[in-house]
């Protein structure tokens, strides 16, 4: 135990006696109306000792708070009124990959935290803000941080401070997303399942209803003669065919497209920002790629339509176009608006002339 700690502890133990001394002086000075300088001096000395001890206790509390913040498992940052770092603890340094010395005096948006400035700007009269932010640290790790911001008006001529705390919830968010994917992914193909497809087509139908216009296309795709494949090669081979088709479709489609398995051998693709003709040509190319790359040389038929405000009508029109493709001999694509493979072949022929 060092001398300073011993002295401070001793002063704290003497605090009740200091209060008693102060009250005694005040009692002599006021109640007995003995306005002697001795009584006044006793009161003043006692008051000074109380104030000194109060200052001592404040310092002790400040030191304790600083120690807790410095060693907390939660990242803690204190920003000044210019939104520059006054203090950053070890946990925050570990999150960002930058030392407290590197962070000191810096604007956090330099380190990918620009969203914090926006959150602070929106505080207004509120003293607190809570939310989740996504950042990338120095090591390239994508983090999701549960964030709290508290605005302190210091007063007494001191500039305001913002105390920020960060809790890394990246693992929890990844787990939640994984569980969500498991609930919405087809286990055989890795495509989205019918549940996710229904949500997505309903969302696009709602957009079409809101704006009275749609530029999103729905394609329904079916494997030709799939029953014969099962009968000839068995269900295990049939499953492999479905799996292979799902993988080929996902590889050929855009990231923005929703590729879903909606039935046994039936798939659906939602193609945002794609008109009927462009979607037709994309599905036609997909048909040719599948036929050339499939191990068993399977073929597909497809029907496409523009998604309108009614989910049922949109699906029914695409299904009718698919049925027409099958009745015309399969291994083809039909559109609800009459756009045909003949037009595609004509365009390709002109391109080579």
Positions marked active-site: 265
In this prediction, residue 41 carries a pLDDT of 47
Distance CA 69, CA 164 (A): 11
In this prediction, residue 62 carries a pLDDT of 47
In this prediction, residue 282 carries a pLDDT of 95
Could you tell me which of 127, 170, 118 has the C-alpha nearest to residue 149?
Answer: 127
| Residues 6 or more apart in contact with residue 223 via CB below 8 angstroms | 229, 241, 242, 245, 265, 298, 299, 300
DSSP notation for 132-173: EEEEE-TT--EEEEEEEEEEE--BTTBPPEEEEEEEE-HHHH
Would you put residue 167 in left (φ > 0), alpha (ψ -120 to 50) or beta? beta
In this structure, are strands 161-168 and 75-79 parallel, antiparallel, or unpaired? antiparallel
Rg (CA), the chain: 36
In this prediction, residue 37 carries a pLDDT of 46
Could you tell me which of 109, 7, 98 has the C-alpha nearest to residue 53?
Answer: 7
In this prediction, residue 163 carries a pLDDT of 85
Locate the domains of the chain by residue range: 3-70, 72-174, 185-352
Phi/psi for 347 (5° steps) reads -65, -40
In this prediction, residue 353 carries a pLDDT of 46
Count of helix runs (H) and strand runs (E) in the chain: 13, 10
DSSP notation for 67-114: HHHHH-SSEEEEE-TTSBEEEE-HHHHHHHT--HHHHTT-BGGGGT-H
Architecture in CATH for domain 72-174: 2-Layer Sandwich (3.30)
| Beta carbons of 325 and 333 less than 8 angstroms apart | yes
Distance CA 268, CA 261 (A): 6
In this prediction, residue 145 carries a pLDDT of 92
In tens, the pLDDT along 122-145 reads 776 567 888 898 988 888 899 999
In this structure, are strands 258-261 and 266-271 parallel, antiparallel, or unpaired? antiparallel
Which parts of the chain register pLDDT below 70?
1-73, 124-126, 154-158, 340-353
Could you tell me which of 266, 265, 283 has the C-alpha nearest to residue 340?
Answer: 283
* Cross-sheet strand order for the sheet of 161-168: 85-88, 75-79, 161-168, 142-152, 128-136
In this prediction, residue 77 carries a pLDDT of 86
CATH 3.30.70.270 fits 185-352, yes or no: yes
In this prediction, residue 48 carries a pLDDT of 54
pTM over 0.85: no
In tens, the pLDDT along 160-185 reads 788 888 889 999 999 998 888 888 99
| Beta carbons of 331 and 300 less than 8 angstroms apart | yes
């Amino acid at each position: 135990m060092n001398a300073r700690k011993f002295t401070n502890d001793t002063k704290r133990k003497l605090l009740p006696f200091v209060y008693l001394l102060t009250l005694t002086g005040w009692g002599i000075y006021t109640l007995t109306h003995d306005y002697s300088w001795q009584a006044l001096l006793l009161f003043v000395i006692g008051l000074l000792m109380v104030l000194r001890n109060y200052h001592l206790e404040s310092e002790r509390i400040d030191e304790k708070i600083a120690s807790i913040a410095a060693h907390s498992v939660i990242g803690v940052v204190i920003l000044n009124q210019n939104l520059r770092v006054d203090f950053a603890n070890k946990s925050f340094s570990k999150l960002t990959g930058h030392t407290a010395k590197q962070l000191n005096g810096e604007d956090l948006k330099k380190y990918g935290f620009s969203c914090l400035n926006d959150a602070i700007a929106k505080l207004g009269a509120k003293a607190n803000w809570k939310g989740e932010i996504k950042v990338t640290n120095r090591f390239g790790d994508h983090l999701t941080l549960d964030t709290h911001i508290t605005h302190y008006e210091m007063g007494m001529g001191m500039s305001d401070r913002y105390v920020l705390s960060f809790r890394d919830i990246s693992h929890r968010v990844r787990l939640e997303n994984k569980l969500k994917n498991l609930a919405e992914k087809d286990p055989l193909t890795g495509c989205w399942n019918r549940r996710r497809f229904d949500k997505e087509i309903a969302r696009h139908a709602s957009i079409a209803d809101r704006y009275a216009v749609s530029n999103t296309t729905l394609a329904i795709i079916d494997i030709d003669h799939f029953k014969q494949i099962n009968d000839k090669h068995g269900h295990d081979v049939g499953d492999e065919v479905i799996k292979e088709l799902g993988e080929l479709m996902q590889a050929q489609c855009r990231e923005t497209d929703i590729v879903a398995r909606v039935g046994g051998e039936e798939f659906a693709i939602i193609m945002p920002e794609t008109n009927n003709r462009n979607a037709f040509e994309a599905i036609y190319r997909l048909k040719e790629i599948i036929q050339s790359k499939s191990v068993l040389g399977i073929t597909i038929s497809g029907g496409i339509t523009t998604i309108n405000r009614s989910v049922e009508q949109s699906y029914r029109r695409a299904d009718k176009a698919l049925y027409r493709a099958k009745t015309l001999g399969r291994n083809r694509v039909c559109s609800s608006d009459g756009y045909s493979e003949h037009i595609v072949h004509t365009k390709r022929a002109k391109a080579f002339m």
